[in-house]
Structure 1
Amino acid sequence: MEIKAPDLGVDSADVSEILVKVGDSIEKEQSLLVLESAKASVEVPSPASGVIKAIAIRQGQSVKQGDVLFELEGDTAEQPAPNENSNVDESDQVAPAQQMATEQDESASESGIKDVKVPDLGVDEADVSEILVRVGDSIAKDQSLIVLESAKASVEVPSPVSGTVKEIKLKTGQKVKQGMVILSLEHSEANATANNPEPDAKTQQQTAQPDAPVTQLQNSTQASAYPQESIQLGNPTHTPAQDQVQGQSLNAEQIKANSEVYAGPAVRQLARQLGVVLAQVTPSGANQRILKEDVFAFVKQTLGTDKVATSGQHAVLASNGLPALPDFEKFGGSTLQPMSRLQQVSVPQLSLNNYIPQVTQFDQADITELENWRNTLKADYRKQNISLTILAFIVKAVAYLLKKESYFNSHLADDQKAIVVRNEIHLGIAVATQDGLTVPVLRNPDTLSIQDIAIQLGKLSQKARDKKLKPQELQGASFTITSLGSIGGTAFTPLVNWPQVAILGISPASMQPVWSGQDFKPRLMLPLSLSYDHRVINGADAARFTHALSEILSDIRRVLL
């Protein structure tokens, strides 16, 4: 029997963990692998019992509906088709988020206070893992309100309308059932009317149903700044075999202890990458769940940073591994201001820079002629509603250079004995939004014209600001460009976005007197800041890279020809 990927609810999802190996005898409904999207982490169960004969996928691979996952030898029961349920009418198979929105559309058409309720969970009850909003928050339609966890999935429940949170009626750790009130929302008639159109099926969330052979993943409308390591919510179901993925060497006692640890797939993956035995980590999450911050704290403690003396005593470490903050009351007091959801998601990814020996190479490019040429083209492009920015030319130049200097388009292998060179170029383009920095990915810019690059940059930037980026538009970058634009500054040190090995920072260009050999001439100079992982890239290579980029930008014909 071929076991295939079910209807994922999104175009594709990543294989986070493979829970079995060839030769394993498995039972019906036993979890086979973990799939992750931007907002959910679920396990796919086996439709029958038998023996694993072949594994057709690998960890980290993106899969879509219908892809063959495993070959199973054993029971001859047919594998149900995705979403098949002979006892349930097709009209009854509505995603929980869509069902919730349908049930509440009638009340949403009136202005006033609205109770948002728990949708059909597909199970008797689930735990409230996280509450993502506060009283007084202004929220948009489809913005996530809470995170619910069942035995094999964790999903975020979206709001059916926009409005202001007036009262939260659940608490973290509470068990909830369908129909229980999550919160009270004050909304306007205008908001309700605008938000009543039928939701697109691909943007609906569906909780996993443990009794069914197929589990769906929800799609994401929220952008994460760092998709490669976006936070995935935990799953208490875990098998010891998972701790041996990627060659982690654990003894039998450690494997047994790890199997009893409450941690999500992304946390376990991070622990393996850092060589951490999760059973030794102190959890800080709800229900004794280990978070990424706990792993980072453990690593710092291991390095000796936990022994920080304060007034002759050892300071208590916060979850980030740093000493706990002092009491500010005797210095005038303080006010707690929560970070945005996007900022919170970014913290674990940014913390990975503690483990990267990073260096920054600075240079300048003379873009006087390039800017003059761009100014002659801008009017014609504007008539086509295309914004021709200097970034489009920089992207084209970087893509051209990455084809020649492939080690800048690579990753350090897990064993740190080789580099993984990417076959294609996918550039992360940092975009500043009201909620923070997000990094959509521009695919294969080396194959695009400057006009096509300008069009794609405009679309990605607008979708980022509108929070309409899809998960796949935030994944797979091999190199990143971040620009201060017209904000100001002369240079900065951008942080390498692991697992990438380099990032290019662009500061605002300025007119400077440049010696020509006979006199000083005014030239438009563009500051470049290339940060790189020194384990992969040597300083001389970085200097050659920025110098070559400067030459290309000074005469873009090098690329166009």
Structure 2
Amino acid sequence: MTVEEFRLPDVGEGVAEGELVSWLVAPGDRVEEDQPVAEVETDKALVEVPSSYDGTVEELFVEEGEMVPVGDVIISFRVDGAEADADDSGSADEGAVDETSPDASEPEAADESAPADESAPADESAPADESAPATSSGRTFAPPSARRLARELGVDVAAVDGSGPGGRVTEANVRAHAEAADEDAASGGGDAPEPRPAPTPTDVDSGDRKSAVRKRGEGGTAEPSVTADAGSAPEPAGRDTTLATPATRKLARDLDVDIDDVPTDETRDGEAFVTGEDVQAYADAPESETAEPEPTPEPVDVDAGAEPAASDTAADRAAAATETGASAGDETVPYRGVRRTIGEQMERSKFTAPHVTHHDTAEVDALVAAREELKPKADAEEVKLTYMPFVMKAIVAGLKEHPYLNSELREDDGEIVLKKEYNLGIAVATDAGLMVPVVDDVDEKGIFELAAEVRDLASRARDRKLKPAEMKGSTFSVTNFGAIGGEFATPIINYPETAILGLGAIEERPVVRDGEVVPAPTLPLSLSIDHRVVDGAVAAEFANTVMEHLEQPLLLLTQ
């Protein structure tokens, strides 16, 4: 048997890194070639990464929620000699990655706006803890997050009864076990020895507690990266360049910390990479380590009713919780995956392109009538006809007359590129967040063809089966907040595009005709532009062109 390392393959066009959202296997699991071993988030697509080997999972090197550059080792396998001679590059065939993508919502009134097994002892012949969840191998299965919590609470994860699939131990199981232990201690079980975590592949023969998911290259008994004495404050790093996520930089600003001074052992592309934990540790260290030593407290007479003084660390945590408005009843949700990708893209767009939004309303009596007339023919061809294809064709008419809304500003080159393709991104609301699949060459497709393609993309978007390529290459985007009851909004541009059109709901609203107020179906429009490229007057003219084609659908036949 040999140990083979598996590297994160390129799971998309030009993808440089991805977030490992969840492990689908644990150390000790038997896997076959092409079997998915992990879920990875790249851009806005969730893809399953298949194994290149038949073998047994030896070790996981990446925590769930961690960003991983393409080409980094994420897992290793024990394989027999024949397998070891096979391709060990760690790259999987592109066709083996199931990356089917998300789809665009269709508007009726304008549409859409593992577990890591870390408790296996080195000596597999040793008897397993009788209290561990029953598994075929006798190991305890728990994700890294549950194991971290167990270490923090001093809980032996092998002694926790798992309620997850296959007896996996969850965070809730760990908390329940810790609370039960506290109750036992309070009722007279205080003489029992403190439980210790079962040894894991990374801490066998070591008294230090570590995550079972370890960085490649770390020794099983290596000391933690921060080894400074408790009494010495860390020296400022004084770097010129530091890599960090926007959230980490915000935390540094909030804590009044110079991110270039924060010590770190992590690097990305040869540059220091600082995490939020590094910033928090650096901010906390000077306060507790440079303060004057406090005198030893006098013994407290517990029997007299006095309570022991809380530690400074606990007091600091309580104060921090009060300052941030946190309370014991608050729920925290990881900011990662699609939600973080969307957040970073929105932040980049909003802080790069100065947004201006133009609002207008189209009276669409003729459009409603045209759709009703075409629906029987669409039904006969098994096509669900919504208003979105009509809107898309009207947008193309506007882009042809006003090409600066179908452009990209390339600041570094000092030029504006006027696109000659009309590829529309259609925003789709999914359980995982907003996804924007792209309909290519809208100008070359008919109404029914667009209706079928939009429906297919929207359906696969909601099922998270879009391919990364199906969410790239858009030149203009449409978002349909009217599908959930909205009227007007200020949509954020899908950068580096220069404009996005938001659609309200088509409903009867009061309009003035021949001096009388009458009800009529109207479509509210919200057009956001990058004011560096598009002037307000041009935006208004574009909106007028779009409305003209929606109010006179026969004009769409010219597109």
TM-score (norm 1): 0.51
2:439 to 438, 442, 452: 442
Q: Could you tell me how far apart the structure 1 residues matched to 2:87 and 2:67 are?
A: 11
* Aligned: 1:402 with 2:402: no
1:420 maps to 417
Q: Evaluate the alpha carbon distance shift between residue 472 and residue 121 of structure 1 in structure 2; reply closer, same or farther with a 3 A threshold.
A: farther
Q: Evaluate the alpha carbon distance shift between residue 550 and residue 291 of structure 1 in structure 2; reply closer, same or farther with a 3 A threshold.
A: farther
Q: Could you tell me how far apart the structure 1 residues matched to 2:63 and 2:346 are?
A: 22
SS class of match (2:420): coil
Q: Evaluate the alpha carbon distance shift between residue 377 and residue 131 of structure 1 in structure 2; reply closer, same or farther with a 3 A threshold.
A: same
1:370 to 367, 370, 391: 367
2:266 to 287, 296, 312: 287
Q: Evaluate the alpha carbon distance shift between residue 98 and residue 487 of structure 1 in structure 2; reply closer, same or farther with a 3 A threshold.
A: same
2:520 maps to 523
Q: Shift in Å at residue 531 of structure 1? A: 0.5
Q: Could you tell me how far apart the structure 2 residues matched to 1:216 and 1:441 are?
A: 24
Matched letter for residue 337 of structure 1: V
Q: Shift in Å at residue 468 of structure 1? A: 1.3
Measured against aligned partners, the alpha-carbon deviations of 1:327-350 in whole angstroms (never above 9, x if no partner) come to: 456766522123462112212111
- Structure 1 or 2: larger strand share? 1
Matched letter for residue 551 of structure 2: S
Q: Could you tell me how far apart the structure 2 residues matched to 1:351 and 1:296 are?
A: 19
Q: Could you tell me how far apart the structure 1 residues matched to 2:476 and 2:455 are?
A: 19
2:234 maps to none
2:126 maps to none
Q: Could you tell me how far apart the structure 2 residues matched to 1:341 and 1:400 are?
A: 36
Q: Evaluate the alpha carbon distance shift between residue 432 and residue 281 of structure 1 in structure 2; reply closer, same or farther with a 3 A threshold.
A: farther
Q: Could you tell me how far apart the structure 2 residues matched to 1:393 and 1:428 are?
A: 15
Matched letter for residue 341 of structure 1: G
Q: Could you tell me how far apart the structure 2 residues matched to 1:329 and 1:515 are?
A: 50
Higher-Rg structure is: 2
1:348 to 329, 341, 344: 344
Matched letter for residue 502 of structure 1: A
The within-5 A match list for 1:137-536 is: 153-154=71-72, 177-179=76-78, 209=89, 219=97, 221=99, 223=101, 287-289=266-268, 327=323, 333-339=329-335, 341-352=337-348, 353-415=350-412, 417-536=414-533
SS class of match (1:451): helix
1:66 maps to none
1:164 maps to none
Give the unaligned 5+ runs of structure 2: 1-7, 21-29, 38-48, 80-85, 105-214, 217-238, 246-257, 277-319
Q: Shift in Å at residue 405 of structure 1? A: 1.4
Identity of aligned residues (%): 29
Mapped contact 2:424–2:440 kept (Cα < 8 A): yes
Mapped contact 2:424–2:439 kept (Cα < 8 A): yes
Matched letter for residue 347 of structure 2: S
Q: Could you tell me how far apart the structure 2 residues matched to 1:224 and 1:350 are?
A: 19
Q: Could you tell me how far apart the structure 2 residues matched to 1:459 and 1:329 are?
A: 44
1:128 to 51, 61, 67: 61
Q: Shift in Å at residue 476 of structure 1? A: 0.8
1:99 maps to 33
Q: Could you tell me how far apart the structure 2 residues matched to 1:9 and 1:118 are?
A: 10
Q: Could you tell me how far apart the structure 2 residues matched to 1:284 and 1:504 are?
A: 45
Q: Evaluate the alpha carbon distance shift between residue 453 and residue 414 of structure 1 in structure 2; reply closer, same or farther with a 3 A threshold.
A: same
Q: Evaluate the alpha carbon distance shift between residue 97 and residue 405 of structure 1 in structure 2; reply closer, same or farther with a 3 A threshold.
A: farther
SS class of match (2:545): helix
- Give the number of aligned pairs: 337
Q: Shift in Å at residue 392 of structure 1? A: 1.0
Mapped contact 2:35–2:50 kept (Cα < 8 A): no
Q: Shift in Å at residue 222 of structure 1? A: 6.7
2:23 maps to none
Mapped contact 2:366–2:553 kept (Cα < 8 A): no
Measured against aligned partners, the alpha-carbon deviations of 1:505-544 in whole angstroms (never above 9, x if no partner) come to: 0011221222223323321110000011100000111111
SS class of match (1:388): coil
Matched letter for residue 129 of structure 1: V
SS class of match (1:153): coil
Mapped contact 1:130–1:148 kept (Cα < 8 A): no
Measured against aligned partners, the alpha-carbon deviations of 1:137-188 in whole angstroms (never above 9, x if no partner) come to: xxxxxxxxx8766xx70487xxxxxxxxxxxxxxxxxxx53149xxxxxxxx
Matched letter for residue 399 of structure 1: V
Matched letter for residue 434 of structure 2: L
Mapped contact 2:502–2:527 kept (Cα < 8 A): yes
Q: Shift in Å at residue 38 of structure 1? A: 7.3
Instruction: Work out which structure has the larger RCO, using CA pairs closer than 8 Å and 6 or more positions apart in sequence.
Output: 2
TM-score (norm 2): 0.51
1:162 maps to none
Does 407-416 or 549-558 show the bigger shift?
A: 407-416
Mapped contact 1:513–1:522 kept (Cα < 8 A): yes
Q: Could you tell me how far apart the structure 2 residues matched to 1:338 and 1:225 are?
A: 25
Mapped contact 2:360–2:543 kept (Cα < 8 A): yes
Mapped contact 1:430–1:483 kept (Cα < 8 A): yes
Q: Shift in Å at residue 490 of structure 1? A: 1.8
Measured against aligned partners, the alpha-carbon deviations of 1:311-366 in whole angstroms (never above 9, x if no partner) come to: xxxxxxxxxxxxx9864567665221234621122121111112221010000011
Q: Evaluate the alpha carbon distance shift between residue 219 and residue 119 of structure 1 in structure 2; reply closer, same or farther with a 3 A threshold.
A: closer
Mapped contact 2:103–2:456 kept (Cα < 8 A): no
Measured against aligned partners, the alpha-carbon deviations of 1:468-517 in whole angstroms (never above 9, x if no partner) come to: 11111011111100002431122111001111110000011221222223
Q: Evaluate the alpha carbon distance shift between residue 538 and residue 225 of structure 1 in structure 2; reply closer, same or farther with a 3 A threshold.
A: farther
2:537 maps to 540
Mapped contact 1:363–1:527 kept (Cα < 8 A): yes
